[in-house]
Amino acid sequence: QVQLVESGGGLVQAGGSLRLSCVVSGSTDSIGTIGWYRQAPGKQRQLVAFITKIYTTNYSDSVKGRFTISRDNAKKTVYLQMNSLKPEDTAVYYCNGDIAPVGFLMRKYWGQGTQVTVSS
């Protein structure tokens, strides 16, 4: 069974850094675009960044220049390096991926989320 498992969240002071990881577990035929989303209390979930299978990246304006998304296909892992964190970055961060389990068509999967809290 394919799952996305996030880790790396926590409490950090403003200006600090965190690195989130999203591991794709289970047997897969293909892993396509993987994205990081976040949802703050009372707000809609929003896209933070994504990376395609051929390493093309895209960032929301609010994190451009501070966050870096990367992937290690051999480890089936996508990372989100977050630097110069601000209190407004506080949210639950979710991993979302286009994944084809062995013998099945590609579909979207969500992780369970990891909490990031930035104190001022």
CA pair distance 63, 73, nearest whole angstrom:
24
pLDDT tens-digit profile, the chain (120 residues): 999 999 999 999 999 999 999 999 999 999 999 999 999 999 999 999 999 999 999 999 999 999 999 999 999 999 999 999 999 999 999 999 999 999 999 999 999 999 999 999
Tell how far CA 115 is from the center of its chain: 12
Phi, psi values for residue 87, rounded to 5°: -55, -35
> In this structure, how many other beta carbons lie within 10 angstroms of the beta carbon of residue 119?
11
> Token pair of 89, please?
């970055």
CA dihedral sign, ordered 72, 73, 75, 78: positive
CA-to-CA separations, 120 to 63, 88, 93, 117, in angstroms, rounded = 17, 10, 19, 10
